Amino acid sequence: MRYYSTRNKNEFVNFTIAALTGLAPDGGLFIPEEIPLYPANVRSSLGSMDFTDIAFETVKPYVQDIIPNNALSDIVQSAFTFNAPLIPAADRYCLELFHGPTAAFKDFGARFMARAFSYLRRGEDRPLRILVATSGDTGGAVADGFFEVPGIFVTVLYPKGRVTPLQERQIAGLGKNITALAVEGSFDDCQQLVKAALADEGGVLKTNDQKRPALSSANSINISRLIPQAVYYSAAAGRAFSGNIDSDEEATPRIKGSPYPSEIKKGLITLCVPSGNFGNLTAGLYAMKMGAPIKQFIAATNINKTFPDYLNSGEYLTRTSQVTISNAMDVGAPSNFERIAAHFTLDEMRRIILGVSVNDDETKETILRIHKEAGYFLDPHSAVGWKGVDKLLTENKIDKSDVFGILSTAHPAKFSEVVEPLVGLPPVPFSLASAMERTVNAKTIPAEVPALIETLYENK
Ligand SMILES: *Cc1c(COP(=O)(O)O)cnc(C)c1O
């Protein structure tokens, strides 16, 4: 498979270059030359295949010329050691994407990416340093994914005082090859610093010096984080289509003893994706184009509704982000928009994707109501998705008789500051409880390029 930048259709790179460089040199995002179709036999068995087999079949066409089958098989087996169950709750499904080590869906992309990077860099002596800016969830997933991977160092930049205590421990509690920098500034400042360092402003980092680590980034602009996220869409859609539904009552955050819905629908599913930077939705669009049985998508945002507004007006107007209780989606200029727009025209987008925006009061009200009515705990991001479906149903924009699935993007205990005062907490997963025990070890730096560079030198 060849990849090109969203800003230049005439030059191609292979998967290795696309993954290891992250952002294209012209500032665009790498996309595959074409979106491959599942072979017919795979497509018809999505509802019964093992998750790792679906992962193998989904990723294979994107990396075939670079990663041989046996290596790819090892990568997906070791990356996806947890499931993505499709759980019935009230009148719809929740696709629970929070059973990985940092309890948010970003584990899928980050764990695949870490293992793919190790493979792509095999035999390479020069170390690699990955810089990642985070508003909270990405940093923890990337740190966890790359923890103790030989030859790779990770520096996570997060806005000091603006991540939750749990997120800070996930980012700054691991040590070893993971360095945490608490930046005196906002998420945008962190992202600016990373971009400046990657561009090696003024050449001070001498990124061509073979004795120093090469630099790369791991934000969701990286295509190697996005492709593996298509896997759970295909798995879930296949199961909803064939009626092969999980009932993992132990793992699911429900009130003990609350009943499963008696009638479970099957058919073509409409999936609602709580969205911020739109990496997750882009992966869903890839799964649909590959042939997964998906009817439609709903892009649910909080009040940062750049994309829903675009679908309405046809005009793409980015703005500065506003703070909400679903803070992983506080994005005013979603970077993956550029990818979606490269693959689809506005008319196509309008046919495939419905946009909806949900405010904080509606989000809280939904967490309360679903806990009461279905005994199910939603985190604030998943609650935005749930309410998004409700609003579109009320407006008659979608059909009540359809099959709906919400992507549950984080475990409710991950956002305990919001969830606990409203409805209490379900049992906290072991990985979160043990992360809370870690000691934060971060270096505070001002939001200035020289401070970052100095730290990168200290760390060798
Ligand atoms: C990152 C994140 C999102 C938003 O995903 P995008 O791919 O950026 O649209 C939603 N929910 C949670 C919990 C997240 O961590």
pLDDT tens-digit series, residues 50-64 = 999 999 999 999 999
Distance CA 140, CA 342 (A): 30
Q: Point out the least confidently predicted range of 191-205, 232-246, 323-337.
A: 191-205
How many angstroms is it from 276 CA to the middle of ligand 1?
6
Q: Is 278 in the pocket of ligand 1 (CB under 6 A)?
A: yes
| For residue 209, pLDDT beyond 80 | no
Mutate to test the pocket of ligand 1, among 137, 220, 223, 305 (most ligand atoms within 8 A of CB): 137
> Which of 47-51, 133-137, 332-336 has the largest mean confidence?
47-51
- Output the six-digit token pair for 128: 């690699």
How many angstroms is it from 72 CA to the middle of ligand 1?
26
Task: Dump pLDDT digits (tens) for 48-105.
Answer: 999 999 999 999 999 999 999 999 999 999 999 999 999 999 999 999 999 999 999 9
Cβ–Cβ < 8 Å for 360, 332: no
How many angstroms is it from 228 CA to the middle of ligand 1?
15
Task: Dump pLDDT digits (tens) for 160-203.
Answer: 998 999 999 999 999 999 999 999 998 878 988 988 888 776 66
How many angstroms is it from 274 CA to the middle of ligand 1?
7
How many angstroms is it from 330 CA to the middle of ligand 1?
9
Q: Rounded to the nearest 10 degrees, what angle do helices 137-146 and 106-120 cross at?
A: 40
| For residue 340, pLDDT beyond 60 | yes
How many angstroms is it from 409 CA to the middle of ligand 1?
7
13-to-17, 27, 112 alpha-carbon distances in Å: 6, 15, 20
Distance CA 88, CA 263 (A): 9
Q: Is 224 in the pocket of ligand 1 (CB under 6 A)?
A: no
Distance CA 239, CA 96 (A): 14
How many angstroms is it from 191 CA to the middle of ligand 1?
16
Question: Which residue has its alpha carbon closest to ligand 1 atom 8?
Answer: 277
Q: Which residue has the tokens 């670079």?
A: 66
Q: Is 442 in the pocket of ligand 1 (CB under 6 A)?
A: no
| Degrees, nearest 5: CA angle 29-51-300 | 50
Give the global pTM.
0.94
pLDDT (mean) for 118-122: 94
| Average pLDDT for the chain | 93
| Degrees, nearest 5: CA angle 430-277-394 | 90
Q: Is 422 in the pocket of ligand 1 (CB under 6 A)?
A: no
Q: Is 328 in the pocket of ligand 1 (CB under 6 A)?
A: yes
pLDDT at 203: 67
